[in-house]
């Protein structure tokens, strides 16, 4: 018979409850004072199992991966939470436990069975890293009832009944990475990058899993979004058949403050720190986090606070930018302003930002609908609406006394030529690929935001704030930098526009255009 149907709101069929009971019956604590005692799952772990082994109500016996709602999963937790032993318990279940869907019983409950010949890999970017899981896996088997089911546990491979095995692998194990595997634990994928060769490892393993109808789990600390890691790609992917479990604390808590840091730790360590039964000492975590934060706040926040924050390379911290947010009514028509524009076509965003000559910056609107002058091509059928952009600019030019418009020319050369013909020398081509000029302009805005005393304020535009937070320094010769994205998916276009318009404002003031009767209209180009 099919699944019996939900007995309460939100219920779904899952083999996770069966797998969890199997783990608690046969797996043991691998180390410490309680080594050899039964391994008990926390509520968080039960929730993860329920989702990872969630079944489609229409699943049919004999299906493998297609029976499950999720093809793979990602578990993001701080250091010492217990990702290694939990991963080991899942490997044990995938080795000899009831993890394959085998139909519904007479009462409409799911039934599981073991893989006939499981081939399991523990993947990490180094042998030391694979040991985090493997060192928990061996004693979990050898110290408990599983020793009778899995008697051959070597230091480099575990042989399974039926000819299966468990292998630890790194990017150097080229011959094994292409194997048709049934289950893979990818450990600390926040460290898996293109440069390390681990992005290719992840992709190769997933192809091997697809061939067998197998599935995988990523376990990781939070990642540095400037590194474009496998963990980040998984988290940002729009694919729906990935289960993501990333426990976070209130984003308003400041990790630099001890009282807030403790609240963050209590939230992200969850059940692992609850007494009785919890194994994490939050006082010890606080001591380690506080020491690390003194020399590398971002790393401490990632490792112990479970937050996705940038390490080196951040241009302007988003919270610092946000402190200068001061939403105001739109300046009245006729106000003397400058504009900045950066345009794209199919992928990146296009936007205008405006700034008064006394230092207030905002995203203007256009039309009676007060639409923001920011265009994400995904919202326009995949391409920026160029006629709409031109119409918005025309409205801004008619509404305000625009004395400068700085435009980044790539992709928009023809339109910028047309704007120059129409609006005259107020339209200035300002190429952001010029290293010296872009570095100086980025430094001007950075200084005026971080040093204070200039009176600079902005409207708190959320898109601008997000793009500011995504921007990273890319070093160039001569102690200069330009800006780059933290990742392909994270845009910085409106941050670039903010730099352009602020540079236009500074140049306009220097040219005397802040006065109502300017003595000079010469543009000062840096």
> Tens digit of pLDDT for each residue in 381-397?
889 999 999 999 999 99
Q: Is the pLDDT at 456 greater than 80, yes or no?
A: yes
Answering whether pTM is above 0.75, one says no
How many residues are present in the chain? 526
CA separation for the pair 22, 26 (Å, rounded): 6
Q: For the CA atoms of 217, 221, 227, 231, what is the dihedral angle to 10 degrees? A: 20
Q: Which residue has the tokens 């970017």?
A: 125
Q: Is the pLDDT at 524 greater than 60, yes or no?
A: no
Specify which residues 366 forms β-bridges with.
371
Full DSSP string of 449-517: HHS--S--EE---HHHHHHHHHEEEEEETTTEEEEEESBTTB--HHHHHHHHHHHHHHHHHHTTTTSSS
CA separation for the pair 471, 89 (Å, rounded): 40
Number of H helices, E strands in the chain: 17, 21
pLDDT-derived band at 402 (thresholds 50, 70, 90) equals very high
Q: Is the pLDDT at 177 greater than 90, yes or no?
A: no
**At 290, is the secondary structure helix, strand, or coil?**
helix
How much of the chain exceeds pLDDT 90, in percent?
A: 74
Mean pLDDT score across all residues of the chain: 91
Domains (range + CATH), the chain: 16-246 (3.40.50.300), 258-312 (no CATH), 320-510 (3.30.420.240)
Largest CA distance in the chain: 92
Residue pLDDT, tens place only, 412-431? 999 999 999 999 999 999 99
How far does Cα 414 stand from its chain's mean position? Answer: 36
CA nearest 138: which of 49, 34, 35?
35
CA separation for the pair 190, 178 (Å, rounded): 22
What is the model's pLDDT at position 498?
A: 98
What is the model's pLDDT at position 1?
A: 72
Give, in degrees to the nearest 5, the angle at Cα 516 between 513 and 517.
Answer: 85
Q: Is the pLDDT at 312 greater than 70, yes or no?
A: no
Q: Which residue has the higher pLDDT, 7 or 178?
A: 7
What is the model's pLDDT at position 523?
A: 41
Q: Is the pLDDT at 238 greater than 90, yes or no?
A: no
Q: Is the pLDDT at 296 greater than 50, yes or no?
A: yes
Specify which residues 457 forms β-bridges with.
360
158: tokens are 């575990």
Q: Say if residues 416 and 475 touch (Cβ distance below 8 Å).
A: no
For the ranges 32-36, 54-58, 193-197, 465-469, which has the lowest average pLDDT?
Answer: 193-197
Beta-carbon count within 10 A of 65 CB: 18
Q: Is the pLDDT at 363 greater than 50, yes or no?
A: yes
Q: Which residue has the tokens 């039926």?
A: 162
- Per DSSP, helices labelled H in 213-281 are 230-236, 258-269
280: tokens are 């994490």
419: tokens are 């704007």
CA dihedral sign of residues 136, 137, 140, 142 = negative
What is the model's pLDDT at position 489?
A: 75
Q: Is the pLDDT at 321 greater than 90, yes or no?
A: yes
Q: Which residue has the higher pLDDT, 138 or 64?
A: 138
Residue pLDDT, tens place only, 85-111? 999 999 999 999 999 999 999 999 999
Pairing assessment for the beta strands 100-104 and 110-113 based on DSSP bridges: antiparallel
Beta-carbon count within 10 A of 11 CB: 11
56 by Cβ neighbours in 10 Å (0-12 / 13-18 / 19+) ranks as: middle
354 by Cβ neighbours in 10 Å (0-12 / 13-18 / 19+) ranks as: buried
What is the model's pLDDT at position 127?
A: 81
165 by Cβ neighbours in 10 Å (0-12 / 13-18 / 19+) ranks as: middle
CA separation for the pair 221, 273 (Å, rounded): 17
CA distances in angstroms from 16 to 19, 42, 144, 203, listed in the order given: 5, 13, 22, 26
Q: Say if residues 284 and 291 touch (Cβ distance below 8 Å).
A: no
pLDDT-derived band at 311 (thresholds 50, 70, 90) equals low
For the ranges 13-27, 58-72, 232-246, 463-477, which has the lowest average pLDDT?
Answer: 463-477
What is the model's pLDDT at position 175?
A: 56
CA nearest 269: which of 259, 280, 277, 283?
280
Residue pLDDT, tens place only, 1-50? 789 999 999 999 999 999 999 999 999 999 999 999 999 999 999 999 99
CA separation for the pair 301, 86 (Å, rounded): 23
Q: Is the pLDDT at 460 greater than 90, yes or no?
A: yes
């Amino acid at each position: 018979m099919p699944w019996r149907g939900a007995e309460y709101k939100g219920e779904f069929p899952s083999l996770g409850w069966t797998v969890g009971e199997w783990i608690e019956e046969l797996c043991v604590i691998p180390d410490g004072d309680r080594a050899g005692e039964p391994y008990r799952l926390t509520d968080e772990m039960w929730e993860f199992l329920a989702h990872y082994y969630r079944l489609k109500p229409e699943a049919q016996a004999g299906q493998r991966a297609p029976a499950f709602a999720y093809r793979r999963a990602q578990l993001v937790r701080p250091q010492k939470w217990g990702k290694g032993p939990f991963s080991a318990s899942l490997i044990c279940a995938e080795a000899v436990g009831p993890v394959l869907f085998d139909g519904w019983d007479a009462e409409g409950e799911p039934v599981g069975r073991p893989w006939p010949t499981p081939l399991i890999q523990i993947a990490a970017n180094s042998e030391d890293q694979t040991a985090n899981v493997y060192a928990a896996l061996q004693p979990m088997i050898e110290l408990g009832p599983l020793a009778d089911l899995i008697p051959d546990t070597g230091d480099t491979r575990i042989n399974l009944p039926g000819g299966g095995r468990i292998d630890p692998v790194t990017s150097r194990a080229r011959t094994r990475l292409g194997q048709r595997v049934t289950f893979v634990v990818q450990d600390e994928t926040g460290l898996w990058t293109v440069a390390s060769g681990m992005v290719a490892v992840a992709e190769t393993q997933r192809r091997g899993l697809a061939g067998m109808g197998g599935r995988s789990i990523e376990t990781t600390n939070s990642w540095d979004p400037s590194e474009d890691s496998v963990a980040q790609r998984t988290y940002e992917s729009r694919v729906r058949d990935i289960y993501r479990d990333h426990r976070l604390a209130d984003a308003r808590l400041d990790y630099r403050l001890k009282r807030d840091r403790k609240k963050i730790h209590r939230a992200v360590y969850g059940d692992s720190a609850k007494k009785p039964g919890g194994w994490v000492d939050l006082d010890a975590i606080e001591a380690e986090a506080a020491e690390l934060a003194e020399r590398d706040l971002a790393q401490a926040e990632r490792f112990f606070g479970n937050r996705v924050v940038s390490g080196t390379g951040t241009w302007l911290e988003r919270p610092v930018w946000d402190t200068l947010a001061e939403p105001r009514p739109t300046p009245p028509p006729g106000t003397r302003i400058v504009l900045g524009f950066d345009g794209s076509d199919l992928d990146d965003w296009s936007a205008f930002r405006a700034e008064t000559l006394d230092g207030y910056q905002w995203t203007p609107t256009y039309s009676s609908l007060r639409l923001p002058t920011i265009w994400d091509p995904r919202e326009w059928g995949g391409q920026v609406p160029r006629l709409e952009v031109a119409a918005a600019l025309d409205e801004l030019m008619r509404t305000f006394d625009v004395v400068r418009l700085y435009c980044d020319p790539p992709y928009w050369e023809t339109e910028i030529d047309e704007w120059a013909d129409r609006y005259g020398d107020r339209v200035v081509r300002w190429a952001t690929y010029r290293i010296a000029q872009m570095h100086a302009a980025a430094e001007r805005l950075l200084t005026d935001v971080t040093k204070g005393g200039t009176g600079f304020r902005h409207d708190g535009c959320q898109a601008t704030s997000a793009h500011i937070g995504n921007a990273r320094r890319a070093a160039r010769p001569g102690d200069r930098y330009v800006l780059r994205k933290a990742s392909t998916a994270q845009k910085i276009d409106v941050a670039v526009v903010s730099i352009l318009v602020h540079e236009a404002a500074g140049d306009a003031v220097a040219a005397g255009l802040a006065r109502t009767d300017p003595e000079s209209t010469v543009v000062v180009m840096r």
